[in-house]
Amino acid sequence: MDTSELQRIKQRYNIVGNCEALNHALDVALQVAPTDLSVLIVGESGVGKEIIPRLIHDNSTRKREKYFAINCGSIPEGTIDSELFGHEKGSFTGAIGESEGYFGTANKGTIFLDEVGELPIATQARLLRVLETGEYIRVGGQKIMKTDVRIVAATNVNMHKAISEGRFREDLFYRLNTIPIQIPPLRDRGEDILLLFRLFTMQMAEKYRIPRITLTDDAKQIMLKYKWPGNVRQLKNITEQMSILSQKREIDAETLSKFIPEDQESTQLTTTTAPGSHSYESEREILYKILYELRGNVSDLRREMADMRKKMDTPQALDNLSALNGMHSLGGPETHGYGNTAAAIQQYHNQPNRFNSFQDVEAEEINDNENAGISENDSLNLNDIGRHVVEKALERNGGNRKKAAQELGISDRTLYRRIKQYGLDKQ
């Protein structure tokens, strides 16, 4: 695009600046305007993305048709489908009549979807169908509607990050991003900052009939070095403040510092993820780590229980238990405190539900292991421990089930049920 054509476009749309990146964005917009390709405009908040869709529409074959600019972030999630695609009468509370929606009303025209990254996932699926086939269904309806609409979208969201976090459909992104246009932030536009400042001061002087403010050389350097996180919108806001509030008409560095923060670097926008920011990927990593640690804790507990059972099954442990019971029956050591211990052990063995309670805990752990992703073989280890205890009791009592039941402190019927459960009756 030649210089004269570029200047004509800037004058028509009141675009100020000679930044190379800005000129390139305008050039791409004019080249794609005569086509029906979808355009995605990317840039930070406040850089002036809303000018590009209007420029595309006015220089397209649809310029005599309707143009709608829709802020997707300002429409409630519960009504956005109705706003975009229309609804049938009685489809929801308050739907007293039919509505064509923006896609029906803007047929043959252009729709600008600002903040498209804020669309709900369900609405994104509907929008994808419109882009692919030109078809949609009204809310509460069954009839397939047709529309011929040019879509121009804009976003200040990092779309690749939104896709990785599941907040935006990847297929829709590539449909919208047929022709990408990047609008540069104000901090990268160099001398354009001073040109825009001059424009805003002239507008304020003309509107309120006050003397126009100017900048000293030191103040100009501060303006050029500042990071402008709010971009053109912030520059206009600060210019309006100084035009009204400053007693001086020539703004020096000291006066400017009252309107611009001294810590310039702290206002710079970054693309890195700040600590504590929400990320579904980091949440998954945390959950995996917790589950892995939980599995390790369960495995350690299982090994400790197995070691304890092995120690309880040794002949020395059984002899000590018998000795304690014998001393309690003789009544001698009770005065030294051992009788209470033997009685407690005997009472523990005589509890009829002790073994059943152990099995209930065992079953709960097996279910928890399955939910935590532990293998089926690992979850059966506790069951193997119960079988081992019964086998050892039967061996020590020469296969006498009644004596084995007495030793385990359970009823004969409970022991028979365990023997059958463990398959010991077939051996």
Q: Report pTM.
A: 0.61
pLDDT at 396: 87
| Sequence-separated (6 or more) residues with CB below 8 Å from residue 251 | 213, 214, 215, 216, 219, 242
Confirm if 68 and 108 have CB atoms less than 8 A apart. Answer: no
Tokens, residue 40: 């995605």
Q: What is the dihedral of CA 12, 16, 17, 22, to 10 degrees?
A: -60
Tokens, residue 147: 């529309």
Q: How far apart are CA 338 and CA 332, in angstroms?
A: 9
Q: How far apart are CA 308 and CA 303, in angstroms?
A: 9
Q: Up-side HSE of residue 290: CA atoms within 13 Å toward CB?
A: 7
Give 10-residue mean pLDDT values along the chain (427 residues). 86 94 96 96 95 96 96 92 90 81 96 96 95 93 94 96 95 96 96 96 95 96 94 96 94 92 46 45 58 64 76 62 50 44 49 44 43 45 67 85 83 83 75
pLDDT at 317: 58
